[in-house]
Amino acid sequence: MQISFTLNGRPTTVDVEPATLVAELLREQLNLTGTHIGCDTSQCGACVVHLDGLPVKSCTLLAPALDGATLLTIEGLQGAPGSNQMHPMQEAFREHHGLQCGFCTPGMLMTAIALATGKPDLTEADVRHGLEGNICRCTGYQNIVVSVLAGAAAMNAAKGE
């Protein structure tokens, strides 16, 4: 079947098998391999993308659900429009060593951005709770939590200007 949606700001139309998962569509058909698949039980969160602004696990969503929707993946993140800058959350992860092997990172970033959007008063407890659906085996989460708090502050400061 044919579906049309907005992918990282661009109108996109693709033919998909109805049983295709969004994560598979992105990785196999659209060559957007930044969205990762780390499990088969919707536990790890490596595949998180934003569907109409909300974080979802793309391994648990069928492609037809995208029809008419807006999808944002790790490849669509950016800083100031038209610049080469990274998103403030990406910058925060680099600054605070919030990643090691990098495999959980795209999902962590997408979850973190959703968590921080419009939340200037995010606390450590909020972040730890909010990352419950994302597993990282490398970092012990400490620097991820530090990164998300810093990224959230940067995002909300930028908004406030």
Partner 1 sequence: MGNVIGIGASPKRKEDQRFLTGRGNYVSDIKRPGMTAGVFVRSPHGHAVLRGIDKSAALASPGVIAVLTGEDVAADKLGSLPCGWGISDAKGVPMKEPPFPMLAQGKVRFVGDMVAFVIAETPGQANAAAELLTVDYEVLPSVVGVLEAVRPGAPQLFDDVPNNICCDWELGDKAAVETAFRKAAHVAKLSLVNNRLIGNPIEPRAAIAEYEPGTDRFTLWTTSQFPHVVRFLMGALVLNIPQHKLRVVAPDVGGGFGVKQFHYGEEAVITWAAKRVMRPIKWVASRSEGYVSDRHGRDHVTEAELALDEHGKFLAFRVNTLANMGGYLSTFGPNIPTNLYGPLLGGVYTTPAIYCNVKVVFTNTVPVDAYRGAGRPEATFVLERIVDVAASEMGIDRVEIRRRNMIPKEAYPYQTPVLVQYDSGDPMGCLDGALVAADVKNFGVRKAASASKGKFRGLGYSTYVEACGLAPSRFAGRLGARGGLYESATVRVHPTGQVTVMIGTHNHGQGHETTFAQIVSEKLGVSFENVDIVFGDTDRVQFGMGTYGSRSLVVGGAALSKATDKVIAKGKKIAAHLLEAAEVDIQFEAGNFSVAGTDRIKSFEEIAGAAYVPHNYPLEVLEPGLEEQAYYDPVNFTYPGGCHIAEVEVDPETGTVTLVNYTAVDDVGTVINPMIVEGQLHGGIVQGVGQALFENAVYDEGSGQLLSGSLMDYCMPRADHMPMMKVATHSTLCTHTPMGVKGCGEVGTIGSPAAVINAVVDALAHLGVTHVDMPATPNRIWRLLQNASLPVAAE
Query: Which of 50-58, 64-72, 105-113, 153-161 is the region at the interface with partner 1 (rule: CB under 8 A)?
Result: 105-113
- Residue (41 or 160) nearer to partner 1, CB: 41
Candidates 71, 93, 113, 150; binder of partner 1 (CB under 8 A) is: 93
Maximal C-alpha separation, the chain = 45
Q: Does 122 bind partner 1 (CB under 8 A)?
A: no
Give φ, ψ of 15 to 5 degrees.
-95, 125
C-alpha distances out from residue 123 to 86, 131, 149, 152, Å: 24, 12, 7, 10
Strand order in the sheet with 70-72: 10-15, 2-7, 70-72, 48-51, 54-57
Assess contact for 33 and 27: CB atoms under 8 A.
Answer: yes
Compute the least distance from the CB of residue 110 to partner 1, in Å: 10
Compute the least distance from the CB of residue 29 to partner 1, in Å: 11
Kindly list the residues in this chain that would bind partner 1 in the complex (CB under 8 A). Answer: 27, 31-41, 43-44, 46, 73-75, 77, 86, 90, 93-95, 97, 99-106, 109, 124-125, 127-129, 131-132, 134-145
